[in-house]
Structure 1
Amino acid sequence: MNRRNAIKLAASGIVGLYLSPLLAQRNLLGSPDFKGPFEPTWDSLAKYQVPDWFRDAKFGMWAHWGPQCEPEAGDWYARSMYQEGSRQYKFHLEKYGHPSKFGFKDIINVWKADNWNPEELVSLYKDAGAKYFMAMANHHDNLDLYNSKYQPNWNSTKMGPKKDIIAGWEKAARKANLPFAVSVHAAHAWSWFETAQRSDKNGPLAGVPYDGKLTKADGKGTWWEGLDPQELYAQNHPLSEKSDDNNGIHSQWNWGNGVAKPSETYVENFHNRTIDLIDKYNPDMLYFDDTALPLWPISDAGLRIAAHLYNKSFQENKSVQTVITGKILTEQQRKALVWDIEKGQSNEIEPLPWQTDTCIGNWHYDRSVYENKRYKSAKTVVHSLIDVVSKNGNLMLNIPVRGDGSIDELERQIVKEIGAWMKLNGSSIYGTRPWKIFGEGPQQESAGALTAQGFNEGKGKPFTSQDIRFVQKDNVLYATVMDWPENGIAVIKSLGTEMSYYTGKIKQIKLVSTGEKLNFKQNSQALEVYFPKQKTEASFANALEIS
């Protein structure tokens, strides 16, 4: 039996006599990594229950920050700088030089993070209403941002800032009494960095290889003498099919469609790095930027990591208090993990808790977004949060961090505006659960369908005062009117007496932000709520408490 079939059998719980020698050597179900009720199979992980802290938190904030933020030129810089003619390739030529002479390893070397103050930033995010905080532990660029036992040279304690970034973030989160999450992206470095194997096709350096194939022997006389760039780039392998297609990696994200399969050494190193991260920093949540789990379905490494984290939490708490997220999940996988939707939202109430992750700009800091003032507004963020929560989800919001570790003044103002709304209306968000329906109004009729990881964000019409979102908590119904009604009357059709959703008698309606009791009239077709004459602060979303 080949290794892949053995893994499939293991994943489905069919083990025992059919274990391959490789899996038997690892002692798949008896490894110390998974002592406890969870085994590294989807069937076993499906026993998982999402902890209440996550369901109650609703809103988290993320520092998607690493060396790719140093150029301040946007997402996937370490890949795109090797794509001849791309915006980031041209930027790199002008700022740093040709990628055959100054590659991404050299970006890491100049990244110093000298204005990073994790305690101040985490405190700012908590004040804005975040109930958990996430930091990036590594990206597809493969640099570990912690004191990594299994990536001992290419990590942030030895390179660039020479700081344990994750330790700094963790200390700040614990001091703020926020659950601490880490995001892990490095499983894809194997194929993602293939652009570094290229060379220019045009110009004076045509045919001169970029630095992606350099080895330890090439480093004599350089700043990286004695180090092996292949421990970072992982490019000592044949290219994937259609590797010259810059967009082809998206169809290969699930390790199919002709992708070059990673070696067992690479897979086990990723597994060990992630177990080391878990054991050193004790995250309350682990976010994976992968289809299902890392390296699935060609490896059981992600299953073993998940079982380890769940069992570790079970041993410490007598119940599992940790969360693992994954993308593009099957129905069974959604029982084992929290479904994460990237830059998008479900269009219905989901039976199980889920999360959307988004950012106010690009994932990695992009100075052009700042200069052109293209950040999402606080209003847009709050509307997304309300919509997501009404459908049983959480919102994880990234505030892009500059290379030096700071955020700019425009971002800071947006964070404060979000916080102003949350301080007034947070009771309609935290600890709530979905109601019978998530809402009403024209916005949902225009919402886009999910594609791939998500990516339907912003495809619908803007919210108006005709759009209402519902949640419930402690026998109270919250109805949020998604703008201030122009005529001062909010009309909620779903609460008409003939609609049968709300069967009790409405005794009182209060505006959550001020506590003011509002006059109302309920008839067979709708509930009419009469707003104050003067708009309240942050009136772009108005939570009503109905009891």
Structure 2
Amino acid sequence: MKRRTLIKGLATGLSSLYLSNLYAHGLLRTPSIPRMAPGPFQPSWESLEQYQVPDWFRDAKFGIWAHWGPQCQPERGDWYARGMYQEGSDQYKYHIQKYGHPSKFGFKEVINDWKAENWHPEELVALYKKAGARYFMAMANHHDNFDLYDSKYHRWNATKLGPKKDLIGGWAKAAKAQGLPFGVSVHASHAWSWYEVAQRSDKSGSYAGIPYDGKLTASDGHNAWWSGYDPQELYAQNHALSKDSLNDGSMGEHWDWGNGASIPDKAYCDKFLNRTIELIDKYGPELVYFDDSALPLWPVSDAGLKIAAHFYNTSIKKHGKLQAALFAKVLNEQQRKCMIWDIERGQSNEIEPLPWQTDTCIGGWHYDRRLFDNKRYKSAKTVIHTLADVVSKNGNLLLNIPVRGDGTIDSEERNVVEQIAAWMQINSEAIYGTRPWKVFGEGPAMEATVALSAQGFNEGKGKPFVAEDIRFTTKGKILYAVMLGWPANNAALVKTLATNNQAGPISRVSLLGNGQLKFQQTSEGLKVQLPEQAPCKEAFVLKIEGAIV
């Protein structure tokens, strides 16, 4: 016992090479490889086609996401751990001003600066449930390769460095307390090429030619705060650069590991597999989101296929049936049968035959103080309109509320969340548990749709919604018509419900939050006299009954 304690104490200050020797001679144990869960799903696309989206997810419609990690600490927006190494960029200039040069203060130092000192997950998740979220997702790692949970496969994690807290454990406990299905988002498969900027040095100025910290190793950490930790385990940069790596815009071309991307080695892929299996086994998420085309590391590795099969089989063992929701992007026809298609910052332009999800944010993915200072968040109105549009097309909305480095959300964000809550309290029956109708809607915005690009990214590019834009949902024999504005003269016209058109005779019309209304079904459409005072803001729901479905 004393010998083991002595070795453990010595190991914390030794280089990775010395640690490797200890492992090799059996003086330290290598973490055991997690076992893949047995079951009907195998790690192949053909096997994953058995997948069926669980009803609970189809009924939930709305989730909230905490896309939060050390890149939120500088409060300077998305992809900070990449941008800070791009000479001349906004984030590079900001980094030098706030922290110093990236050859001296790299992203590993940003991690060390991050403490999450005011984080109270119970309060935040309770607020999100009040706002109508039916599931909650937390980021488990990002492209910065820092695990936000207790990982025995990756020492660069939040229980050992930075906050020194099990953040995923805290989020999971808070979600369980609120009765919300818990999800994790996993982004770290891309660190291999995403971090290549950390291998650079300035081309000009007083630091020209002095390398950033991306190629440091454990042996460079003598007497440093990170002594005993290998920066290569974080940055993963012991490899040749991808083609066109010096072009800051090349990352998108390398996303699918093509076009000259440097291909991750087997050790990197195996470690990602082990980390993610451990995440699923330890925290039991019902949802897993991959920021990948198809699956992580596909097609250069089958790690993503193994994770998907394990996740599905684990869900069956836990619940007796498949209850898991797995998301990825840019899916072909076969892959959309294997998991849920996620569209980033965009919407489909039609009713999709299979359930899908839009993920978007009221600001940037990582917290950006400038959006608060300049009042540039999405409004509650925009969020509610997006929700109605997505749900009418057989989709769900996952909404990120950016979290500050200290673990709080700001007053403007809280105001948006509270306004969503107020709307959902009156109108949620037109959202939860609904299914698409024969058509998803009507109105002028349908005449100016914008096609999806790559992961999505058609959000906000069409015409803004007006009162004549209506979105339909159904529940049993009830049709809901969500009006995305209050009609002039308090008179609504639903053209799709004209006699001899999409619907049979209508027997009753009411306004959620108000009551029964006078109506007339004519050859022009369903004419409804609205009350003088609207019952809520942003969008208004007609509840229509009769022989319409």
Displacement of 1:32? 4.7
**CA RMSD of superposed structures (Å):** 0.8
Once the two structures are superposed, residues 175-195 of structure 1 have per-residue CA deviations (whole angstroms, 9 ceiling, x without a partner) of 000000000000000000000
Partner of 2:374: 372
Secondary structure of the residue aligned to 2:474 is strand
Counterpart residue number, 1:17: none
Q: Which residue of 2 aligns with 1:4?
A: none
CA contact 1:498–1:525 (8 Å) conserved in 2: no
- Alignment counterpart, residue 437 of structure 1, candidates 416, 436, 439: 439
Aligned match of 2:113 in 110, 113, 116? 110
Which residue matches 2:503? Answer: 502
In the TM superposition, what is the alpha-carbon distance from 1:486 to its structure 2 partner?
1.3
Match of 1:543 among 538, 541, 544: 541
**For the residues of structure 1 that align with 2:70 and 2:35, how far apart are their CA atoms?**
34
> Alpha-carbon deviations, 1:41-79, whole Å to 9, x = none?
111101100001100000000000000000000000000
SS of 2:157's equivalent in the other structure is coil
Deviations 1:344-388 (A, max 9, x none): 000000000000000000000000011000000000000000000
1:517 is matched with 516
Q: Which residues in structure 2 correspond to 1:215-294 (within 5 Å)?
A: 215-294=217-296
**1:381-438 Cα distance to aligned partner (Å, 9 max, x none):** 0000000000000000000000000000010011000000000000000000000000
Tell me by how many angstroms 1:251 deviates: 1.3
Alpha-carbon deviations, 1:476-509, whole Å to 9, x = none? 000111100012111111100131x112x21100
Aligned to 1:5: none
**1:5-24 matches, cutoff 5 A:** none
Q: CA deviation at 1:297?
A: 0.8
Q: Which runs of 4+ in 1 moved over 4 A?
A: none
Shift of 1:34: 4.1
Cα separation, 1, equivalents of 2:363 and 2:86:
22
Show the 5 A alignment for 1:261-410: 261-410=263-412
Deviation at 1:537, TM superposition (A): 2.1
Question: 1 CA distance for matches of 2:35 and 2:71?
Answer: 36
Q: Indicate if the aligned counterparts of 1:181 and 1:285 stay in contact, CA closer than 8 A.
A: yes
5+ residue gaps in structure 1? 1-30
Q: Give the 3-state SS of the residue equivalent to 2:489 in structure 1.
A: coil
The one of 412, 417, 420 equivalent to 2:419 is 417
Where structure 2 has 5 or more consecutive residues not aligned to the other structure, the ranges are 1-33
Is the partner of 2:528 in helix, strand or coil?
strand
1:80 aligns with 2:78: no
Q: Is the partner of 2:75 in helix, strand or coil?
A: coil
The AA in structure 2 aligned to 1:253 is W
- Counterpart residue type for residue 353 of structure 2: P
Contact 1:352 1:392 in 2 (8 A): yes
1:125 to 123, 128, 135: 128
Superposed, 1:21-170 pairs within 5 Å as 32-151=35-154, 153-170=155-172
1: distance between equivalents of 2:534 and 2:69?
42
Secondary structure in structure 2 of the residue aligned to 1:247: helix
Q: Secondary structure at the residue paired with 2:122? A: helix
TM-score relative to the length of structure 2: 0.93
The CA distance in 1 between the partners of 2:443 and 2:234, in whole Å, is 50
State the distance in 1 between where 2:280 and 2:100 align: 38
Shift of 1:303: 0.3
User: 1:513 & 1:204 partners in 2: Cα distance?
Assistant: 65
The aligned amino acid for 1:441 is G
Instruction: Indicate the SS of the match to 1:331.
Output: coil
- Using the alignment, how far apart are the partners of 1:214 and 1:82 within structure 2? 15
Instruction: Report the Cα distance in structure 2 between the residues aligned to 1:170 and 1:159, rounded to whole angstroms.
Output: 20
User: CA offset at residue 296 of structure 1?
Assistant: 0.5
**Which residue of structure 1 aligns with residue 491 of structure 2?**
489
Q: Deviations over 1:168-223 (max 9, x none)?
A: 00000000000000000000000000000000001001000000000001001211
For these two proteins, the number of residue pairs brought into alignment is: 512
The alignment-based identity, stated in percent, is: 64
Report the CA distance between 1:513 and its aligned residue: 2.2
**Aligned partners of 2:499, 2:201: CA distance in 1, in Å?**
69
Deviations 1:426-461 (A, max 9, x none): 000000000000000111211211000000000011
